[in-house]
Amino acid sequence: MAEYNRENLSEEELEWQRRRRERVQRMKLEKEKEIQKQRMIKRAMPVAAIVLVIGIVSGVALSGRAGEKTPDSKTVEENITAKAEDLKNRENGLEASGEQIAGNEEIEAVKTEGNMPEGMASVSQGEPDSQEVAATPGQITANSAATGTTVSAAPNIVTAGNGKYEAHTTDATTAPPGEVESTNVVFIDLESGDVLAQRGYKEVVNPASMTKVLTLLVAAEHVTDLDDTFTITIDITDYSYVNDCSNVGFEVGETVTVRDLLYGTILPSGGDAAVGLATYVAGSHEAFVEMMNDKLEELGLSGTAHFTNCVGIYDKNHHCSVYDMAMIMEAALANDLCREVLGARTYTTSSTAQHPEGITISNWFIRRIEDKDTGGEILGAKTGYVNESGSCAVSYGVDASGKGYVCATTGAHSSWRCIYDHVALYKTYSE
């Protein structure tokens, strides 16, 4: 179970877990308020019983003095007993109600456990895992010259011309190695354009947060000043919260740079950064999505690819194939800014009033695969996860000779399984 400890969870799974804890905490507070209310009522009941008895006895005495027929002592006793029994029943009912309320937390836990990303059920609860905050050699910061990152050289990519990218199967194309569990797979040699391995590579799937590679590409082609600023609005944070998106952690009213939005979209897969970036570029999320679909058409992918949002939220009309995603990745690799962002290991956002020291974010996939034997090096990646597509990722790597490859997969049962699938593919097919 070691691969499922909290340290090994992706940013999206950690965000999901954090929101689950928030829901449980809210339920605890509501439960405590209800139980406190019940206790107050229970404490008041003995007093109410005494008052009731006094009232009955007083009524009997007054009736006698008024010359009315006085109930015999047996009748009075029966009345008192009946009232006391009624109070007791009400008290027991409240105790039962309290037990039911106390059980709601467990019921909610079962419900959320059922919707939990696979592989997270054994994770113990605790404080949210911090995104890697320790400075590392060569760490990228928004305030360092040229962001302090070394951008990989543009790969030699075969294109179809007219801004389109393509890859093709050959007689040498094989099924993925047996240990690869992802349901949809494509592994492409960038120099030849050959599909070296594939499984269901043209089936339409939901790309989840791999969507953000296109978000990054469209934005990168339209921004001119990375130091320009944008203020986060409540509509942006609400959209991200309501849809249970991963987040950078930007706050309403926080003014961040365009560079922050670009890195925030990819490294922690921030929904707040992606929607903010879309709004900055196009004026609205909806207008930006139109630009994304125009780009898909320009790339020659609109026959199978169509997006309804810039984040990767599930929608039956939000789809593409892993082949389409590989072509989107190839287009992004041809853009220096995209290649820089996709290849960043860590990044610290600019200082703001809300976050004076910035927010340190990191690329979970790159941090976890960098010490694995792929036969070369992974230079860029973007992960994703929704229930409908499982854990997925698109990556770019080179072999020992510097030859480039793109790999796209969906349908892994866990984020670690997704990584090991990519490791197996690079190890098997890179020269």
Instruction: Write out pLDDT tens, residues 140-162.
Output: 344 433 344 567 777 777 676 67
Return the pLDDT at 261: 99
Closest CA to 77 of 69, 87, 85: 85
Helix pair 212-220, 258-266: axis angle to 10 deg = 160
Q: Average pLDDT of 398-412?
A: 97
3-state SS class at 315? coil
> What's residue 109's pLDDT?
31
Band of residue 3 on the pLDDT scale cut at 50, 70, 90? very low
- 102-131 average pLDDT score: 32
CATH code assigned to 148-429: 3.40.710.10
Q: Measured between alpha carbons, how far is 65 from 106 in angstroms, rounded to an integer?
A: 59
Q: What percentage of the chain carries pLDDT values higher than 70?
A: 65
Query: Is the per-residue pLDDT at 135 higher than 50?
Result: no
> Residue 178 contacts by C-beta under 8 Å, 6 or more apart in sequence?
none
Residue with the larger pLDDT of the pair 205 and 158: 205
pLDDT of 337 strictly over 70: yes
Q: What value does the mean pLDDT take over residues 237-257?
A: 97
Alpha carbon 324 to its chain's center: 23
pLDDT of res. 146: 39
Say yes or no to pLDDT of 339 above 80. yes
Q: In this predicted structure, what is the pLDDT of residue 8?
A: 58
The answer to which of 132-136, 197-201, 328-332, 382-386 has the lowest mean pLDDT is: 132-136
Of residues 141 and 423, the one with the higher pLDDT is 423
Q: What is the pLDDT of residue 34?
A: 65
pTM of the model: 0.69
pLDDT, position 409: 99
Cβ atoms of 307 and 212 within 8 Å: the answer is no
Closest by CA to 385, choosing from 185, 202, 116, 130, is 116
Amino acid in the structure at residue 42: K
> Domain ranges in the chain?
2-115, 148-429
Q: Tell me, what's the pLDDT at 64?
A: 54
Cα angle 102, 14, 366 (rounded to 5 degrees) comes to: 165
Structure tokens that stand for 86 in this block? 């009624």
The C-alpha atoms of residue 88 and residue 66 are separated, in whole angstroms, by 33
pLDDT tens column, 41-92: 666 666 666 666 666 656 555 555 555 444 455 555 555 555 555 555 544 4
Residue in the block written with tokens 């696979």: 118
pLDDT at 164: 86
What is the arithmetic mean of pLDDT over 300-322? Answer: 98
